[in-house]
Homo-oligomer: A and B are copies of this chain.
Amino acid sequence: MQSVGTASDEPTRLADIIAPMFGGQSGWSQRLENGVQAELVAGADAQDDCAVFALDGPMEIVVGSDYVRGPKFQLYELGYLSNYDIGYYLAMANLSDIAAMGALPIALLTVVRYPRSLPDDDFTALMEGIRDACRQVGAPNVGGDIGSAERIILSASAVGIVERGGSLLRTGARAGDRLCVTGPTGVAASAQRYFGGLGPGTTKLPPGEEEALISAWRRPQALVREGRCLSTSGVVTSCQDTSDGLKAGVQSLAAASGVGFVVEESALPVADIVAEVARLTDGDLTSVLLGDSVDFQLVFTVGEDAAPQLSKIFADAGLQFFDIGYATEEREVRLRRADGREEELPGVPWRHAT
């Protein structure tokens, strides 16, 4: 029971206010007069990337919403991201939630509010960024809400379809499952660290490497093909994207599934540019790989016996993933260092601060 005047943080509000208020939704259903039915498979209480409805016929739809802090983007304010870039990012951040459910995106809805003084060219560029990100994943932007506000406000929702029973939830990991990730993490965080933190005169990267770094923000990718492979394989037991960081993703799969994980430090995929920025900025590499970084990779679990089968499916599709650890009965998430020591995961997960 919160007392009058208290302003708790977001995780507390999710746990103490939202969860009790929206608990027990799953199983809710609604039916049209012609017998057509929609049943809620995963609602607000599931706290998954998206909500899931089973519909008549062999399909489910997934829906999710993400607000993106427009000019709050540090790299936008510093001039590294254009209006086109933040439009592109808004779309991909939302489409990534659909990918993480194993679904095929069919629609994006966008809310774009802006100061009256925003020039038409900037508005056009922002909308083109949205359009092009949608094209990249093959789903249309079907509308939403545009209009003025005192500053840029960006929010969106995305809709996807998936075969019945095919949605990838966070709840299915079992002890013994392999823990995997689709690619290197920490790139977006490294870009923030590098561009946001380096003062004038400090050692800089060559232009080509700077470009590679900033592209994590300029052209993030919703991993729709990877998500579809995970879903259609039938062997993946849980999944989410790493938009809150790899540590937060692993912790969330652990909490939702009621398991723990051992993450092997030596198995974490490392992008060269991330290692280089860690060196340049005296950062701890493993903390960067695990901490808050909106990379939109997918972190997932697969039954131990089925892991080779999944590797083959990915290889056949020209894709890859990395096995970084395994699920345990003991409900704790630990890092195994190269020297065998086990300790808590380093790195700060995203706390949804402004």
Interface residues of A (CB under 8 A from B): 2-8, 10, 13-14, 16-18, 21-22, 25, 28, 30, 32-34, 36, 38, 40, 43-44, 46-47, 50-51, 53, 55-59, 61, 63-67, 69, 104, 106-107, 109-111, 113, 116-121, 123-124, 127-128, 131, 138-150, 153, 155-157, 159, 161-163, 232, 352-354
Contact = CB atoms under 8 A, between A and B. Distances in A.
Given A53-B106, A120-B7, A148-B353, A33 B131 contact: no
Number of copies: 2
B17 A143 contact: no
Contacts of A148: 10, 352-354
Contact of A109 (B14, B157, B163): B157
A55 B53 CA distance: 13
Contacts of A3: 120
B142 A63 contact: yes
Contacts of A14: 146
B354 A51 contact: no
A17 B120 contact: yes
A63 B107 contact: yes
A22 B354 CA distance: 32
The dominant DSSP class at the A interface is: mixed
Which of A16, A120, A121, A142 gathers the greatest number of chain B CB atoms within 10 Å?
A142
A36 B141 contact: no
Contact of A146 (B10, B56, B58, B111): B10
A337 B119 CA distance: 42
Contact of A17 (B2, B123, B147): B123
Given A7-B120, A10-B147, A55-B59, 12 more contacts: A17-B120, A17-B123, A25-B142, A36-B59, A44-B142, A51-B107, A65-B111, A65-B145, A67-B145, A146-B352, A148-B352, A148-B354
A36 B10 contact: no
A155 B14 CA distance: 18
Contacts of A354: 116, 147-150
Nearest to A48: B143
Contacts of A162: 32
A274 to B, nearest CB: 26
A241 B106 CA distance: 25
Contacts of A6: 119-121
Contacts of A57: 36, 55-57
A149 B353 CA distance: 9
A143 B47 contact: yes
B109 A7 contact: no
Which of A30, A33, A139, A156 gathers the greatest number of chain B CB atoms within 10 Å?
A30
A117 B51 contact: no
A123 to B, nearest CB: 6
B113 A161 contact: no
Given A17-B123, A59-B55, A147 B352 contact: yes
Contacts of A161: 30, 32, 36, 38, 55
Which of A30, A65, A156 gathers the greatest number of chain B CB atoms within 10 Å?
A65
Given A17-B124, A106-B38, A157-B157, A117 B67 contact: no
Given A30-B139, A131-B21, A354-B150, A144 B65 contact: yes
Contacts of A4: 119, 121
Contacts of A120: 2-3, 6-8, 13, 16-17
